[in-house]
Amino acid sequence: MESKPITNTANIINSKDLFARIKWLEQQLNYRCSDEYSEELKALKSLMENVEAIATASTYEPGSDLVRDSYLEEYKSMAEPDKGNARFNPADFGGVVYWLRH
């Protein structure tokens, strides 16, 4: 089953979805060559490296949100009270800043 592409236009990316998409792309590229898949995989691996550099195992492994910079204030104002007090660290995704929620 095909997973949804992940791009730097999404407001929120969950790290579990990021891992799953990378794994899916790697599996697909084992069977056929696709420039589109190769480019997406390259971009997602770069994002993953940027996130791993700022993440801790306790926040990254269970699945954390990566929030697009332009969406961060709205994200913080959502109903869950812990989102407003959460710590965030920036990560680059193709020239767009995403904030990793801790």
pLDDT digits (tens, 9 = 90+) for 32-79: 878 889 999 999 999 999 998 888 666 666 688 999 999 999 998 885
3-state SS assignment for residue 91: strand
| pTM, entire model | 0.83
Strands (E), 1-102: 12-14, 65-68, 88-93, 96-101
At 71, list the tokens: 């969406």
**71, 57 in Cβ contact below 8 A?**
no
pLDDT attached to residue 2: 65
Which residue ranges make up each domain of the chain?
Answer: 12-101
